[in-house]
Structure 1
Amino acid sequence: MGGQLDAFTYNALPARVIMGAGKREEVAAEVGRLNCARPLIVTTRDQAALGEDIARRLDARQVSRFADATMHTPWPVTQRALEVVEGSRIDCVIAIGGGSSIGLSKAIALRTGLPQIVLPTTYAGSEVTPIIGETRDGQKSTQRTLDVLPEVVIYDVELTLSLPVTLSSASGLNAIAHAVEALYAADANPITSLMAEEGIAALAKSLPHIVQAPDSIEARRAAQYGAWLCGTCLGTVGMGLHHKICHVLGGAFDLAHAPTHAVMISHVAAYNAFSAPSSMARIARALKARDAWTGLYDLATNLDLPVSLEALGMPETGIDRAVELIMQNTYSNPRAPDVPALGNMLRRAWKGSPPQPME
């Protein structure tokens, strides 16, 4: 690389990453490597069968199950899971699924110190981050602590084959959002920026192929690779306005996590357009688009994803309340949030109008 690099700080996160088709077969060995014997398998109800598939690879007398993981990690669900942990003398957690399962696993680890083995089935990226988001009384809050970083991540591409096309697309846009915000983060550095651009490019290329051929191992492998890179960015540097908005909308209106990211990321890119031009150029290059915001919006449209908050179930009357919540404890962002601009952006996102840069 020519020229002189500016000073930067890069903190690598300690995690064991195992990637490859069929690697779920190694879960028992990983439990043993952690010196554990009494795992709790955590899934959502819809993915309980995947949990049973993993359980068959373990000692049936020692394994416990909790199949009620729920979106946005509500505190009452965590309390019930902790009761199982205590009652069954659990010594590690195995999470199979996406953000719901992994979020609950992290919530357990935060309060017990138990090690985690995670087998992702989506592209959300939570498995490689020291970040946990939890919902209490209708508000979602996040914190960053190494206490919730999983010790082992097993990326078995075969586990993603059952992910429906629409969820694959939304989850992929969610992952891209992590990389977009990493590029203009206050603590951005050359390493995460390389990962971010590569992650966006891998997902932008693979997601349309998954729509055309959902059973394609190659397309799924490329998407999982991109999601790992984007998730690593999320775990390494701070996120900005986009993530604050999505946490508010998810917590206050119970909107689905990944589709909310898919709707909002193009609008937030447009909001930041004039405050982070070099980042926008890298995003556009990764997307092979003229502009970052149009490229993100067109990708969502081409993947046949909802492009409006209205379609996700948010009431138009909630926009002012959302702005009020977004303005509380704001995240670092290239352009400072202000009430009129946020209101205008959210109204465009609610209608599904194309994103528009604002001076």
Structure 2
Amino acid sequence: MQAFTYTGLPTRVIFGIGTLDKLTAEVERLGVSRALVLSTPRQREMVEDAARRLGALAAGIFSEAAMHTPVDVTERAMREVERCGADGIVAIGGGSTTGLGKAIALRTNLPQLVVPTTYAGSEMTPILGETEHGRKTTLRNPKVLPETVIYDVSLTLELPVKLSAVSGMNAIAHAVEALYAQDRNPVVDLMADEGLAALARALPGIVAKPDDLDARSDALYGAWLCGICLGSVGMALHHKLCHTLGGMFDLPHAETHAVILPHAMRYNTNAAPAAAAKVARALGAGDAARGLQDLARRVGAPVSLREIGMTAEGIEPAVAQAMSNPYWNPEPLVETRIRELLERAFHGSDA
């Protein structure tokens, strides 16, 4: 067995159905008495319910969280932190809201409690991506790791099928890249295997029956495991490309992951055959890249960059930015091959 280093991340996790009932007790457990509750505009009603649950523990609501964590939104949120004297953050929603909570924590070191309503997985990571002037940059800092996460399966029942599909594909991407990460280890491999398999069986079930509690539970469980993978090891080409495209063109985050993942897997298959074999096995497929694309099609996720708003003129600047500060990757990054990857992803060609 190869030598490895594994560092467990110290987040408290409460998982189940109806676990939002524990919100007040968990906020008190963190020693928070004036929580700023965060959401996107779309989830304002949900966050107002959470504030009612918290009563006097809720100092205010900020419902302007946005994709890719724009710095200008964070600056507005920081003014609200100061105005209401917040001593903690409660973030309810998907990756956009979690990202905003992390951005605030980075600047203030306030404790965070996250209630995920999608399968993004960001809540389990010490990673923050922020966007400014069309460029998305990421950092890894223990200050942004949430102290507590409450997973309530019942909150995902209203997640639309299409959003469930792309959010689930986003989570799967974390596990796929963890399997060929430079600093991978046997513990993360086990979590990636299990998380990938749980999502692969759950997503078609959700498409068939959106209120299936078993399928929703499997999906949220898988997303939790895949999030741990994302937070425990370094990511590679897939995440670099998604961050590049999201920051440059404001493409929807989860949809971008769904499109790029099969092509990134194909790019790395020869350099990471063991990882590819594990992905294929978890999907019940003969080929990892094709299996990922088939799953995306089966659950109705997009398979081309064109259908999620990118234009062909964006390919060249995306190639240049992706090559300018590359992540480690098992297969060396070659400009002509990255261009070919993006062209195939743009057109939705077979992986």
Taking structure 2 as the reference length, what is the TM-score of the superposition?
Answer: 0.99
Q: Cα distance, 1:62 vs. partner?
A: 4.3
SS at match of 2:192: helix
Instruction: Give per-residue Cα distances to partners, 1:131-165, cap 9 Å, x unaligned.
Output: 00000000000000000000000000011111100
* Conservation of the 8 A alpha-carbon contact between 2:51 and 2:58: no
Which of 138, 149, 155 is equivalent to 1:153?
149
Greater helix proportion: 2
Cross-structure match for 2:137: 141
SS at match of 1:63: strand
Which of 52, 61, 64 is equivalent to 1:65?
61
Instruction: Give per-residue Cα distances to partners, 1:8-41, cap 9 Å, x unaligned.
Output: 1101000100001111111111111111110000
Gaps of 5+ in 2: none
Which of 37, 40, 44 is equivalent to 2:36?
40
Instruction: Give per-residue Cα distances to partners, 1:233-277, cap 9 Å, x unaligned.
Output: 000000000000000000001100000000000000000111000
Which of 76, 87, 90 is equivalent to 2:86?
90
Q: Which amino acid aligns with 2:226?
A: C
Please list, as runs of the form range in 1=range in 2, the aligned pairs for 1:95-106 lying within 5 A after superposition: 95-106=91-102
Q: Which amino acid aligns with 1:244?
A: K
Percent identity over the alignment?
56
Q: Which amino acid aligns with 2:310?
A: M
Cross-structure match for 2:22: 26
SS at match of 2:149: strand
Moved more, 132-141 or 28-37: 28-37
* Conservation of the 8 A alpha-carbon contact between 2:120 and 2:167: yes
Q: 1:160 & 1:337 partners in 2: Cα distance? A: 38
SS at match of 2:42: coil
Q: Which amino acid aligns with 2:118?
A: T
* Conservation of the 8 A alpha-carbon contact between 2:59 and 2:85: no
* Conservation of the 8 A alpha-carbon contact between 2:285 and 2:291: yes
SS at match of 1:7: coil
Which of 47, 54, 72 is equivalent to 1:51?
47
Q: Which amino acid aligns with 1:86?
A: E
* Corresponding pairs, count: 351
Whether 1:223 and 2:223 are equivalent positions in the alignment is no
Q: Which amino acid aligns with 1:119?
A: V
Cross-structure match for 2:298: 302
Q: Which amino acid aligns with 1:122?
A: T
SS at match of 1:119: strand
Q: Cα distance, 1:7 vs. partner?
A: 1.2
CA shift in 2, pair 1:62/1:170, >3 Å? closer
Q: 2:326 & 2:73 partners in 1: Cα distance? A: 28
* Conservation of the 8 A alpha-carbon contact between 2:191 and 2:225: yes
Q: 2:176 & 2:156 partners in 1: Cα distance? A: 23
SS at match of 1:318: helix
Gaps of 5+ in 1: none
Q: Cα distance, 1:63 vs. partner?
A: 2.6
CA shift in 2, pair 1:211/1:186, >3 Å? same
Q: 2:182 & 2:323 partners in 1: Cα distance? A: 18
CA shift in 2, pair 1:201/1:62, >3 Å? closer
Taking structure 1 as the reference length, what is the TM-score of the superposition?
Answer: 0.97
Q: 2:263 & 2:330 partners in 1: Cα distance? A: 14
Please list, as runs of the form range in 1=range in 2, the aligned pairs for 1:325-344 lying within 5 A after superposition: 325-344=321-340
Which of 152, 159, 165 is equivalent to 1:163?
159
Q: Which amino acid aligns with 2:195?
A: G
Whether 1:267 and 2:267 are equivalent positions in the alignment is no
